[in-house]
Structures are given as structure tokens and as C-alpha cells.
Chains A and B, each alone.
Chain A
Amino acid sequence: MQYCLYARVRMAEPLERMTNLLALLLETKVPLSLQQIVTELDGQYPVNTQAQRGAFERDKAVLREIGVPIDQMVLAGDRAGQTAYWIDRHRYELAGLDLSDDERRALQMAVAAVRTDETWGREGLLKLGAGGERPSRAVAATVPTFEALPPLREAVANKATVRFGYRDVDRELDPYGLLLRDGYWYVIGHDHAHRQVRTYRVDRIAGKVTVGEAGSFVRPADFDIRAVFPSDPKLLGEPESEITRATVRIDPIRATLVAREVGDDAVVARHPDGSIDVEVPCVNRDAFRSWVLGLTSHAVVVEPADLRAEIVDWLQGVAG
């Protein structure tokens, strides 16, 4: 055959061999076994069978690591039991994006302004044709990243059920969405064991996220991720329980900040000395106590009496 003429004198560098392997698997019309690959890449793999297999496995691992989708199948017939490999060009190529220059530039600015994982963002930008200097920004944000996030995002997009460990329990979830709120990432979805919508903090997920088959669930049409839990931690709790309203006296020094935090509507009295009374909802007592004690001696619960007594008891416990 023609290519026998091109037998190489020198052993190829691993990088060169990997590039050739990649080109071969992209070009081939039929899946190729290791034996066929070695023949095609004449002289580039070691002759010793074991060393050959080892080198091929390493190359394959590197290609997969950088995101190359290598497909494989076990052959039948006269080559039964052998594995054959190929790359589907449609799955390999980045297609259908066609960003204009200003859109590319806008994404570049976004990656510069928002600090997630810098390497991921930069690699992605290069593929989209944006490169060069990182523009500096006067307005920026840090968005935390965790290894669990990319697979979770893909699972949400593909409607694939995921499994992960959380507080020592294996969870099975149909993920409906991801929400970054108050600096934390949450994954929200239908929990199989609990048969209801649950929220999990992504930074608390232990170990790897296992992603199942695509198209394994349907997200409810009316699902609204922002509505799943209230933004005010004082409102976290059992929805059916009655909401207590507490009146809290705030010292002048903290009055402006607290009024801004709870909203002017919640200010129920303004006193001549500059202190104010605010009315705040209290469903979750732990969250409420944490909020009011965070204001130390600048906040005093006026009403209701039982809530006030609870705080006083807590303080007496600490005072010893």
C-alpha cells in the first residue's frame, strides 16, 4: 500500500502522534481497532504490544481530557471482542455559534469582569476567536465555582437525572435549574426519595456528580427558580406555619442601615431620639435570632412577649 513508502525514520513526539491520532479518528469512515490505528500511524507507536497499548491509552486519555469526544464500540464477526474507535465530527466541532465581533468582545469583557474559573473562561474565549489582553474593568464580580457546577448545568440542559452525595446521603435529583443567590450556588429540582422539589447548596455536594441519561425527565412548564425559596432568610421555614411579626427597636446609629435593609414600609415608628421600630416577619426562629443578635445592643425585641422572652433567655444563657 502507498503509505508504506512513508515509513518514518524517527519516533514521533507524543504531541505529534496525538495530533495524527486525532486527525485519523476524525477522517476515518469506519471505526478503527488499535491494530489498524498502529498500522495507519506507521512507526509512531512502539513495536512492543504492551508498550503500544500503554502509549495508546495515554494518548486517548489526554484527548478525552481536553474534551475530544472519542466514541468506541466492540466489534463482532471475525474481529469479535476487539474495540474500535472513531470521532464524530459533528460532536467534535464547535459549530453554529457565529458570533459577531462586538458579541465576541462583549463576552471577553464579561469574562474579564466576572471572576469565575479564569482558565475555563479563557479557553472558551479562545475557541470563540477572542484572545489577547484581558481588558481591565472598574466594575467586577466574583462568582464562586465548584467542580459540580459544569456537570449540573449540562444535566439541567439535557434533562438528565443526577446523583450526588450530600450530608452523607446519596441523592437522586431531576435538576430544574441553578441559582446564584447571596454568593451561594443552589441546585433546585425534583428529589426522587422525597418526591418533592428540594434545594441543595452546591458547595456542600461531596464528591463527583454522576449524570444519567439525557431526556429522563420533563421540567414543569410553570417552574420559576427564583420563587422556590424566599430571599429573606427570616422567611425560610415551613410554609404552612404561621408567620409571627416581631417589633424591634433599633438604635439611631443603625437606624438608616436597618431601614434600608428591611424597607421603609417596615418602619412602624420613628422616635425623637432617632431610634426606630421596625416590624419584621419571623418564621424561622434561628434565623431571626441570628439577625437580631447580629445588631448586638443596638436592637431590642419589643413585641411579641414570647419572642422577647426567648431572646432574653438566650442572652442569660450566654451571660452565665
Chain B
Amino acid sequence: MPRHGPRPAPERLKRLLVMLPWLMERGEVPIAEMAAHFSITEADATLDLELASMCGLPPFVDEMIDVFIDEGVVYTGIPRVFTKPLRLTAPEGFALLTAGRAAMVLPGAEPEGPLGRALDKLAAALGEDGVVVELERPPLADMVARAALTSSRLDITYWTPARDEANVRQITPRAVFADGGHWYVLADDQRSGSERSFRIDRILDARETGVVDAPRDVRLPDANRWFADDADIERVTLRVPAELLWMIERYPIDSRTPDKRDSAMVTVVMPVVSEQWLERLVLRLGQRASVVAPERWITLAARAARGVLDRYESISRDS
């Protein structure tokens, strides 16, 4: 996306240092093509090149960077300096390697293909580093991913944790993605007529319907907080012993404040997807944690615990 407004000098310099070797390799290139390649406007590209052409050091003040624009085409002469791009910084190298390694374990990846070869070259240049990326996926993920690639409609049996029940629905998968240790499918849900995310490990069964829908591009939800930013989602205030915080770290949290009177306790405010979800959480947290607000959930843990205890009684009688 081309950006607007004045660009800071470090960003322009960084761009210039990749632009120059790229131009030198080509000799001549339409400015429109260059702007598209670097995701900047033609005006910005022109500004940067004009500036570059003014740079110079004695004794070759006017010829250090030999570049000019004529009729929408950039011409670059015999290079003197900046013939190779600046080495990868640590964050750039890390991002490329991890993205590549993660892509290698996505459904449909070909380990013998060009990505594998590119990663071998990168690892050789950046140093062998023992970085291992695991994105273990549920058995149905590959089938759902194939359906997303072909816009094939599926009948699925889906367990809805919010209602604690399983039911059959028809979906057209659009994209499959992994986030926070889980796999999701973003799909058109025929029942609600809208786009929804489903957790693939909660799909009990999936069958092809034979119906193929028109392809459609989707925007994946933003990383990590993709349900939590919804202001309509209710919040709960919990008081939790500090050593049990590991149980909730996996979920998005609005705020986390240490208790003033008791340093072992922490007050946490977090979004609640459903009452059933909260029920599971407070059962696992145990009696030392408590709901502070809203009022109707203060006794939720006790009620849920009695429900489970009833099951324990009936099952001990059975067996």
C-alpha cells in the first residue's frame, strides 16, 4: 500500500539502499514498475531518485549514483557504490526464516520445492540456528484447506462450546489459519448467512456436498485478539492467585492489576466468550479464585461444581 505524507529519513534511506542495487541490476525500468515493486507512489520514487542523483563524494561528485528519469523510464548507469543491498538485519532474517519454516508445515507445502531450497540458502547465509516451528494440525485440517482452495461446500458436525452441543451445519470454507496453537476455518455459514470462524479441532465430522460456490477473497482476522476487540463481548472481573495466572495467559486480557492488600492475588479483567467457557475456567481455577463482577456470575463456580459433583455421584453408583 502506498503511504501518504512525508516519509522519515531512515525509512527513505533504507528504501534507497535496496532500490539502487535493484535498479543497477536492471539498467532501465519504467518508474511505474519500480513504484509497484517497492509499494511507494511514483511521486515518492521520483523524489528519492532525484535526491540520490545529487549525492556524491569527491573526486566523483556528480557520478557516484548515475541515475535519471526520462519519459517515465528510470535509467541507471555503471554503479560505483551500493551495488549490493544491505545485509539482512537480525529481525529481517528472523522473520524470513520463521515465516519460511512455518510455511513448510502448512497444509499443501512441498518440502522438496523452491521454498525448501530458499530456506537452505537463507540458513547457510544467516547461520544454522536450531529454530523449529511446529504447527501441529487436527486430522480434518487438510481436507478443510482443500475445500477452501476450491470453494467446496461442506456439511460439518460442529461442537459449539458456548452451548455445549453438537449440530450439523453447512459451510463454504474460505481460508484456513493457525493462531495461538489452534487451527481455524473462516467460512460462509449457510445457516446464519454470514462469515464465521470455526475451530477445526471441534469439527467432529465433515463431508463434501458436491456443491461448489463462487470463489471469494476474505480478510483474515487480526492476529491474537481477533475476537477480543469486539466491544459487545461481555467482560468478567476475576480475583486470581498469582501462581494460577498461567491458566489464563492463553486468553486475551484487558487488564491485570496486583492486589494492594494481598500481593499473592491479581485482579484480571477479560472478555468472556460464553458462560460455558467461563464456567470451565472458574472450575479449573478452584476455590482460591473468585468472580468479582458481574454479580450474576459470582456464584457461577459453585453452581458448576455442584453440577459436576452430581455426575460423580451418579457414576460411582453405576460402576
Contacts and interface: CB of A to CB of B under 8 A. Distances in A.
Interface of A: 2-3, 6, 13-16, 18-20, 22-24, 26-27, 40-42, 62-63, 65-69, 91-100, 102-107, 109-111, 113-117, 120-121, 123-129, 131-133, 136-145, 149-151, 153-154, 156-158, 176-184, 219, 223, 225-226, 231, 249, 253-254, 256-257, 260-261, 289-290, 293-298, 300, 302, 308, 311-312, 314-320
Most buried by B among A2, A67, A91, A253: A67
B253 interface: no
A231 to B, nearest CB: 8
Contacts of B95: 111, 116-117, 120-121, 124, 145
A15 B130 CA distance: 39
Given A94-B87, A103-B118, A318-B282, 9 more contacts: A3-B59, A19-B51, A111-B96, A120-B94, A139-B107, A143-B99, A144-B223, A256-B204, A318-B301
Interface of B: 9-10, 12-18, 22, 25, 36-39, 51-52, 54-59, 61, 64, 81-82, 84-100, 102-104, 106-108, 113-115, 117-118, 121-122, 124-136, 138-139, 145, 148-149, 159, 164-166, 174-182, 201-202, 204-205, 217, 220, 223-224, 247, 250, 276, 279-280, 282-284, 286-287, 301-302, 304-312, 315, 319
Given A127-B92, A142-B178, A154-B90, A179 B134 contact: yes
Contacts of A117: 91, 95
A149 B23 CA distance: 33
20 contacts: A3-B58, A6-B58, A15-B9, A67-B86, A111-B95, A111-B96, A124-B93, A127-B18, A132-B39, A138-B149, A139-B148, A140-B178, A142-B179, A145-B98, A153-B90, A177-B130, A179-B131, A256-B204, A293-B308, A296-B276
B59 A296 contact: no
Contacts of B118: 99, 103-104, 106-107
B113 A150 contact: no
A154 B127 contact: yes
Contacts of B220: 115, 140
A219 B130 contact: yes
B115 A106 contact: yes
A316 B305 contact: yes
B91 to A, nearest CB: 4
Most buried by A among B38, B98, B133, B247: B98
Contacts of A158: 127
A181 B85 contact: no
A30 B108 CA distance: 53
Given A66-B14, A117-B95, A131-B39, A99 B121 contact: yes
Contacts of B104: 110
Q: What 6 A-B pairs are tightest by C-beta distance, nearest first?
A: A3-B58, A157-B127, A183-B181, A177-B130, A124-B92, A110-B103
